[in-house]
Amino acid sequence: MNVLILGISKTGTTAISKAIHVALGHRFQRLNFEPTTFGIEGGKTEAWHIKKCKQNDVVTKCLVFPSQSLGTWDRVMNVARHYSHVVWIDRDPRDRLISNNFYSWFYGHIKDGSRSEKTNWEDKFLKTLAKVEAIEENPGCIPYIDTCDEWWESMGKLHFLQQQFNLYYSISLQRKHMQGWHRINYRDFVDGNVSGLNHYLGLEINHNVKVKLKRVARTKGYGGWRDWFNDEDVRFLKPLYYHYLAEIGEDPDDWTLLHPDSIDPTIGSAYMKKVHYRFSIAS
């Protein structure tokens, strides 16, 4: 058996890949962790995947950065056909927006040589951190999408929102090409609803497997957007995410907000500091 796990960033690919890898037991010596990131130059070629699959009992996890360009998806499909099993992971885009925004401040991303050294990333980080802390103290005081401004200010908010629409529309367009794959919603994995995945792979998967890369873990849950968003977020994001939410089995009309008195910093500002400054948060 050769298994390829695919998904966009911050959709639970690491947790699900680890669970599948553990369920396969001693036959699998190691997990091939992101040898290729589709949509970004570099990484292992299709020939590398072919060679690995000839060895049998391979588990490979790759991220996909979709775009309007067919080239990215062509490469995904060309590699996927060499694997006996392909798992695509979906996640509520509202939760992913929050998780991806916080993790984007990971120190390794900031120091990426592809980014301008002239940019004052520390200043941007502190501005974003202040907005997140304001929401934690007074949920709803500003839209959550305002915390994304420091990343997307050169585009403008409308361009950022267009990018969000294009991201999920691109995935939806590929649905017909995913025949034979197994798609799982991260929410179902968290809840232990993995019977379909077990049947597809012929395994017994434990969804509570501990993930070695603790820096990627934040809430290990779902639905947190209901605490972070306000009415303006709903107005902007609902039409962008509507179709994709329906596609992955979420209720696209349910945008109920919880309006908590405050939000735990360990899943927000403290997490941002953790990934940005490389320190641990005591449990």
Indicate whether 282 belongs to any domain.
no
> Is the distance from CB of 266 to CB of 93 less than 8 angstroms?
no
Q: What is the DSSP annotation of 212-234?
A: S-GGG-S-SSS-THHHH--HHHH
**Pair of tokens at residue 42:** 């570099």
Q: Which domain holds residue 18?
A: 2-91+175-216
Whole-model pTM above 0.85? yes
The pLDDT > 70 percentage for the chain reads 86
Residue spans of beta strands (DSSP E) within 48-172? 58-64, 85-90
Regarding whether 60 and 10 lie in a shared domain, the answer is yes
* Domain identity same for 271 and 230: yes
CA atoms of 230 and 256, how far apart (whole Å): 10
Summarised one tens digit per residue, pLDDT across range 19-28 is 999 998 866 6
> With 90 as the cut, is the pLDDT of residue 188 above it?
yes
Residue 58 DSSP SS3: strand
Question: Cα Rg for the chain, rounded, in angstroms?
Answer: 19
Q: Both 131 and 259 in a single domain? A: yes
Confidence (pLDDT) at 208: 78
Query: Domain containing 78 — which CATH number?
Result: 3.40.50
Tell me: the pLDDT tens digits for 140-164? 999 999 998 887 665 567 777 788 8
Determine the Cα–Cα distance for residues 96 and 126; give it in Å rounded to an integer.
22
Considering the domain architecture, whether residues 210 and 229 belong to the same structural domain is answered as no
